[in-house]
Amino acid sequence: MRKQKLVVVGNGMAGVKTLEELLKHAPERYDITVFGAEPHGNYNRILLSPVLAGEMGLPDIMLNDLDWYRDKGITLHAGRKVVEIDRSRRLVRADDGSAAPYDRLLLATGSLPFMPPLRGADLPGVLAYRDIADTEAMIAAAREHRHAVVVGAGLLGLEAANGLALRGMDVTVVHIGAWIMDRQLDRPAAELLQASLEAKGLTFRLEAHTAALVVGERGRVAALCFKDGSEIPADLVVMAAGIRPNTGLAESARLHCARGIVVSDTLQTVTDPRIYAVGECVSHRGVAYGLVAPLFEQARVCANHLAGHGIGRYQGSVTSTKLKVTGVDVFSAGDFLGGEDCDEIVLHDRAGGIYKKLVLKDDRLAGAVMVGDTADGAWYFQLLREGKNVAGLRDHLMFGQGFAQSQLGDTGHQGQNQAALLPDTAEVCGCNGVCKGSIVKAIREQGLFTLDEVRKHTKASSSCGSCTGLVEQILASTLGGAYQAVDKHAKPVCGCTDHTHAQVRAAIREQHLTSIPDTLRALDWQTPNGCATCRPALNYYLISTWPHEVRDDPQSRFINERAHANIQKDGSYSVVPRMWGGLTTPAELRAIADAAEKYKVPTVKVTGGQRIDLLGVRKDDLPAIWADLNAAGMVSGHAYGKSLRTVKTCVGMEHCRFGTQMAMDMGVKLEKMLFGMWSPHKVKLAVSGCPRNCAEAGIKDVGVIGVDSGYEIYVAGNGGIKTEVAQFLCKVGGDEEVMEYTGAFLQIYREEGFYLERTCHYVERVGLEHVKRQVVVDAASRRALYERLLYALKDAPDPWAEQQAAPLARQYKTIELKAEPQGDRHGLAESLSA
């Protein structure tokens, strides 16, 4: 059967969401072609504000990268704007002359920013705020200029103002209305929000009418002039005065438009049933929606009909707004302004920064608006959407769901939070259409314990993030006693002290402590010499903080590290010589074979890290076998250390016909650069020469994947007991950049990670955004981190070499630390002091 041709005009969130849903229902029904005016894959437009504020990078907001289209067999024309729809020939044409025929056409052209018709609106430095290009232009302007003016005090305008202020600009928000966010808030709520924003440095000019933009000496905008004749300086003007549906293409094709492309309940255009439309460009029953949740509802119905099922109907959306505006929680839904036929229940705590207003009509909740405390927003929205009679709840309604139902004698629910009381059918994540029942099912069946795991399996809380608190409550409610909302990083290092890892690290740095005895005294350790838990941690913190001043303490290391071999269950040892990047030579192989025969090694095994393991070596033979291997030029693979373990590589473009980069060469460079590096826990790297990823770079502490234009770097993966997929850090162009970005990431991990904390847990604790700010966004910070790593590794005392050169038999007579935190500290102290 011939596949039909589906062409999608618009590569935004609504159009691609429709494709995602369609591919679930009918993956083989269409040959799909997508035209997108921007030169990117599909990204989360909601998160442009964190990018502007420097909290996220562009890679963080990508929803579907270019590989996704390729993997799904979708032809993407990125950076190509469709300029004509030939309905008679069923053909679309782009601005580069390319054309694509269709059997079905989906229009998802979104919206356009409203640019007030002002004199000077076309000057350099006057921008809208809708896409990645606008965001990048604003970031660039913030580096060079001081004064910014944002025209419009809606959500987008306030987020733009906040982002520019965080980048160091003096920002004035100009708004024609009497209060900010006048479509989402009433006046008291807006005034409370405005006060909090002014405290952060923003300036507001309300009920202000802009007359013109003034040109400066360099031909760039220099000031904004008001109708009363006053003016304010403006090196950058951001127009955030609203949006309008982008209907130009549809109108040129003579599709019926009225404040949007008019569609039926099946999302077909009323003019041509072969053409569908979704998103901000659509007018459905006279309403055009600008929030993501209604657009995703449209996408699901549209996909149902494109798949041929024909049973879905879109009947409009009841919308709510739950947002975090520059750190302040805001919620509104329904008719929150009220009127003569309505009753209002109001709580206004100016000092506490909290405002709540509930609007009742005919014993039903008609609207709600809240600032500061929005925890019960989901419950109020549920009451509003269902039209539930709240007469019996009225006296307690303001105090939230848990209190209201407990006062009504619902003893079965007393003590439970609002998440436990929500029905399974309650929609928790409006952006992705995820109900409570789906989240609870995933938690139970998949064994989920963290918010990130819930996001990964259900997509709840993965878009705008406004439902994050409720998702966490559902997690706590479902796990019951298994859920511990305690900061695990606030626990003491061990029973010898009340100090946390963070406090110990800070004291060593701030007090310039350079030995374990000095540290124990300075921090009033409760035992004279520490224990098997704290001494290795202190040893690491000292040598990583002062690499050229502190000498390693062998007695604060376990037997594996002192013997340069892993003890096995029968008491013998495993010896693993290093093979740089997994490469070896016939001479090295002969040396390993000679050693295996000479010392009667019973088992020789190739490891998962592309090395050779000699298993079953007797303890007494360790000094001699290492001496023989050293003589052949082979050093320890550190298969036992809290340090660099391996750099796994594929054969790369050196040999593979699919390879795009020199994987083996890159792997060897990284391994030699990092040799001898101490770290909080073991570190494993991998370099794959192409996206086929034969070296398994996606589950390493640092994974480097070659692509046609350079490398992609991933971090914080783990292939251990609980596999963690590495997270995308950045894309770089060449080998030197790979080394710099990798070195900077590992150095920030070395400086901030807690002892025995893997990179995945470190990044989970501090947040990937924090790492990206230091390693990707701030070039000076990245360079400084990289230089500190190179400094630590350059000419530093090498305890591995010193210990390998020393008679190992003598070292075995020292105390052998065992990982038992509650061990005999008195005996340990005697042995260490002897």
pLDDT grade for 488, boundaries at 50, 70 and 90: very low
Whole-structure pTM value: 0.53
Q: Residue 721: what pLDDT? A: 57
Is the pLDDT assigned to residue 274 strictly greater than 50? yes
**Last residue in a domain, options 306, 335, 352:** 306
pLDDT surpasses 70 at 447: no
From first CA to last CA, the distance across the chain in angstroms is 84
Q: What is the structure's pLDDT at 810?
A: 38
Residue 415 lies in a domain: no
Assess contact for 677 and 789: CB atoms under 8 A.
yes
pLDDT at position 737 over 80: yes
Residues 680 and 547 in one domain: no
CA distances from 475 to 427, 470, 472, 492 (A): 15, 9, 5, 26
Q: Which token pair is 156?
A: 């987008």
Domain containing residue 290: 4-110+245-306
In this predicted structure, the answer to whether residue 322 has a pLDDT above a threshold of 80 is no
Mean pLDDT rounded to a whole number for the chain: 86
Q: What is the CATH number of the domain that holds 688?
A: 3.30.413.10
Flag whether 137 is in a domain. Answer: yes
* 136 and 265 co-located in one domain: no
Q: State whether 784 and 649 are in the same domain.
A: yes
Residues 663 and 788 in one domain: yes
Place of tokens 């060593």: 508
- How large is the angle between the packed helices 436-446 and 468-479, nearest 10 degrees? 50
Per the structure, how many domains does the chain have? 5
pLDDT digit string, tens, across residues 137-173: 999 999 999 999 999 998 889 989 999 999 999 999 9
Residue 769: CA atoms inside 13 Å, Cβ hemisphere, count? 10
Concatenate the DSSP letters of all residues of 568-614 into one string: -TTS-EEE-B--GGG---HHHHHHHHHHHHHTT-SEEEE-TTSSEEE
- Lowest pLDDT segment from 142-156, 205-219, 307-321, 612-626: 307-321
Listed residue (39, 68, 5) closest to 728, CA to CA: 68
Angle, CA of 49, 55 and 60, to the nearest 5°:
80
Over range 488-511, report the average pLDDT: 82
Least confident of 40-49, 319-328, 718-727: 319-328
Give me the mean pLDDT over the 400-418 stretch: 53
Contact 475, 448 (CB under 8 A): yes
pLDDT digits (tens, 9 = 90+) for 10-25: 999 999 999 999 998 8
State the Cα–Cα distance between residues 316 and 267, nearest whole angstrom.
11
Same domain, yes or no: 89 and 31:
yes
Centroid of chain to Cα 757 = 20
Asked whether residue 593 falls in the same domain as residue 702, the answer is no
Question: Are 685 and 741 within one domain?
Answer: yes
In the annotated binding site for siroheme, the residues are: 694
Tokens of 150: 């944002």
What are the tens digits of pLDDT across the range 690-703? Answer: 999 999 999 999 99
Residues 6+ apart with CB under 8 A from 616: 568, 570, 572, 573, 574, 601, 602, 603
How many whole angstroms separate alpha carbon 176 and alpha carbon 163? 21
The answer as to whether 345 is a domain residue is no
Q: What is the CATH number of the domain that holds 620?
A: 3.90.480.10
Residues 397, 391: Cα–Cα separation, whole Å: 9
Contacts of 614 (CB under 8 A, 6+ apart): 574, 575, 576, 592, 595, 596, 601, 603, 604, 625
At 581 the pLDDT is 92
Q: Are residues 544 and 576 in the same domain?
A: no
Cα(375)–Cα(399) distance, integer angstroms: 11
Q: What pLDDT shows up at residue 662? A: 94
Residue 99 included in any domain: yes
For residues 548 and 606, membership in a common domain is answered with no
Burial class (CB in 10 A: 0-12, 13-18, 19+), 344: middle
101 lies in the same domain as 168: no
pLDDT at 410 exceeding the cut of 70: no
Residue ranges of the binding site for [4Fe-4S] cluster: 650, 656, 690, 694
Strands 236-239 and 147-151: parallel
Q: Is residue 204 part of a domain?
A: yes
Verify that 655 and 777 share a domain, yes or no: yes
* 221 and 150 together in one domain: yes
**Residue 574 CB-half CA count within 13 A:** 19
CATH at residue 133: 3.50.50.60
What is the per-residue pLDDT across 565-587, written as a single tens digit (0 to 9) for each?
988 888 899 999 999 999 999 99
Give domain status of residue 475, yes or no.
no
> Given this model, what pLDDT does residue 395 score?
85
Q: Given pLDDT bands bounded at 50, 70 and 90, which one contains residue 833?
A: very low
pLDDT of residue 387: 81
Tell me, yes or no, whether 321 lies in a domain: no
Residue numbering of the annotated binding site: 650, 656, 690, 694
In the chain, % of residues over pLDDT 90: 59
Average pLDDT, stretch 65-81? 94
Query: Which pLDDT score is estimated for 707?
Result: 94
Q: Does 399 map to a domain?
A: no
Q: Where are the beta strands (DSSP E) in 388-433?
A: 427-429
